[in-house]
Every structure is written in C-alpha cells, then in structure tokens.
Amino acid sequence: MKIRRKTQQCLNCGLTLNTVYHYCPRCGQENNDNNVSFGTFIDEFFANYFSFDTKFAKSAIPFLIKPGYLTNRFNEGQRVSYVHPLRLYLIISIIFFFLATWAVRSSIEEVALESTILPDDVEEADSTQAFAGLQKILNVLEDETLSDRAALDSLQSLDTFDMDSTALTMKIFHQVRRVAQNDLDVFAGFVLQNMPIMMFLLIPLFALMLKLFYIRRKQWLYVQHLVHALHLHAFFLFLLILLVLPYLVFDVSELAAEWINIVITLVLIIYALFSFRRVYQQGWFTTVIKLFMVGLVYFWILLIFGLSEAMISFMLF
C-alpha cells in the first residue's frame, strides 16, 4: 500500500483538509508531502514497490511452469496476488526489444567488418565481376551529391540495372538511397522500434481469434480471452529472450543455433497446448485441433503484419 504523508492544508490551493482525504476535493492534487530527506525517499520507494516485487516473485513460477494458471486466477478474480497480465507483458517486451536491438546491431557490425576484407578474397574468386558491379551500384546509391533522377540515370546505364521511373518507383528508389546512405543498424533499429506497436495491435486480434474459436462459450467475455492472449505473448517473448541471449554471450555455431531454435519451438508449442487445455478445459484431441487451427491462422496474420510493418518502416525511414 502506498505511503502518504498527509498534510492539513492542500499544498496546491491552500484548502484545509481532513486527514481522511487522499486527494484535495477542490483541485484534485494528492494529499502527500514529498519534501523529505533522500533516505526517507529511498525507504518509501522500496516500501511502496515491495508489494509489486512480491507479486512478481509469486507470479514467476506459475508463469514459467504452469501454463494457463495465471490466466485462470485472474479471470476468477484473484487479481491482487499476482502481477497484472498487461504489466507482465510490458516488462518482458521491454527486455526483449532491448536485447533484440542490441543483437541485430551487433550482427550488422560483424557483417560490416567482414565486408571490409571481402574484396581481397573476391579478387581470387569467380565472383569478382559480380562484386564489382554491386559495388558500383552501392557507390551510386550512397553518393549524396546526386539527385534521385541523376542516380537513377547512372544506374540505368549499367546493363544489370533496369527500373521504370514512375512516381511510386521513384519514391521507393528514394527510400532505398536513404537506407544506403545511413548505417544499416540505424535502419534496423528503426524497424525494431516499431515492432512493439505491431505486437500491441496483434494481441487484441489474437484475443478476437480466441473469442471466435470458442464462440460457444457465451459466458466468456472478450477481456478474458485478452488476458490469455497477454500471458501467451509474454511467454513467447520470454522464449525469444532465451533465444537471443546465447548470441549475445557466446559464439554460437550453426548446429547449436538449429538445436536452440528447435527446442524453443517445441517448448512454445507444448506451453501453448497445456495453456489452452487448462484455460478452456476441453479434451486433448479438441485442444490439439483448435491449437493447430489458431496457430495456422495466426502464423499468416503474423507474417502479413510483419511484412507490412517492415514496409511501412521502410517508407517512413
């Protein structure tokens, strides 16, 4: 419970207050005096948020090893003992997108470093001519002294490049040049920073899918499916955190990467299966069929949204 140091007079409008007031009835300001020592401020900070830490610790084990448990407890009304599903999702998503941005930028830097030694290797390879042609195209795209029209004319003079000069293609060409003229990690970071918005649109859509697939449960409100969707997506992002971390800490081989991907995928499927089973309490056969159908539809929705987000980010960059 939040600690308040109540005053007998509103610090904003001066109204005399009774100690029962948490807020001033005239101006609405909170009846709390924050003019305290630094030590008191720190003590009260931990006192105010200790209950949240307790909720998080109490929610962690069920969240990880008891799929659907938190969803059932929340829908049954036990909402004080555990972390709110939206808060849980936000905490995990912030951690994931931070690590994902870091991982992508690290990978791009490694590729850029390797490309600096590529010409020496390519000179002895059969692809020397192809590399030289690609380098000419990149030089034109990165040349900021050229207008889009002049750059396009220069590229079209090459036998390997042909592009119509319609308004749409010129806009796309302009965006291609913007990406080429900036560091690739800047563009990748711009795309990643828009992904949380996409996920926030997808979660309510996923909840709507659950509502439609379980349409016969007329007593179930949409928000109950939304709680389930938040918990599932939070666990999905948690698995992605486990997927990203090895690449940040170790030099992961291709074989190890394949096994990590397989294990993460299997864990996600098993977790979702048990979550559907516990939340909707249907037989295993029905649960497997519905999970397969939901997963198949959602895969295509996720793919469409992902491509759309990348294209919109590209056009807005």
Percent of the chain with pLDDT over 90: 26
2-11, 270-279, 290-299: which range is least confident on average?
2-11
The answer on pLDDT for 76 being more than 80 is yes
- What confidence category does residue 36 fall into, taking pLDDT thresholds of 50, 70 and 90? low
Q: Once rounded to an integer, what is the mean pLDDT over residues 86-96? A: 89
Residues 198, 203, 208, 212, Cα dihedral to 10°: 110
Compare 237 and 216 and report the one with higher pLDDT.
237
11-20, 40-49, 200-209: which range is least confident on average?
40-49
The answer on pLDDT for 10 being more than 50 is yes
- What confidence category does residue 290 fall into, taking pLDDT thresholds of 50, 70 and 90? very high
d(Cα 300, Cα 306) in Å, to the nearest integer? 10
Long-range residue pairs from 61-66, CB within 8 A, at least 24 positions apart, any chain: 63/88, 63/231, 63/234, 63/235, 64/235, 64/238, 66/278
- What confidence category does residue 203 fall into, taking pLDDT thresholds of 50, 70 and 90? very high
What was the pLDDT predicted at 46? 55
For the ranges 79-93, 196-210, 226-240, the maximum mean pLDDT occurs at: 226-240
Q: For 259-282, how does the pLDDT look when each residue is reduced to its tens digit (9 = 90+)? A: 888 999 999 999 999 999 999 999
Q: Are 224 and 73 in contact (CB under 8 A)?
A: no
Read off the pTM: 0.69
The answer on pLDDT for 8 being more than 80 is no
Q: For 148-187, how does the pLDDT look when each residue is reduced to its tens digit (9 = 90+)? A: 677 666 666 665 556 666 666 777 777 777 777 776 666 7
The answer on pLDDT for 252 being more than 60 is yes
Contacts of 229 (CB under 8 A, 6+ apart): 203, 204, 206, 207, 210
Which residue, among 24, 29, 28, 22, has the nearest Cα to 5 in the 3D structure? 22
Per 3-state DSSP, the chain is made up of helix, strand and coil in percentages (nearest 5) of: 70, 0, 25
Q: Once rounded to an integer, what is the mean pLDDT over residues 26-48? A: 63
Compare 295 and 55 and report the one with higher pLDDT.
295
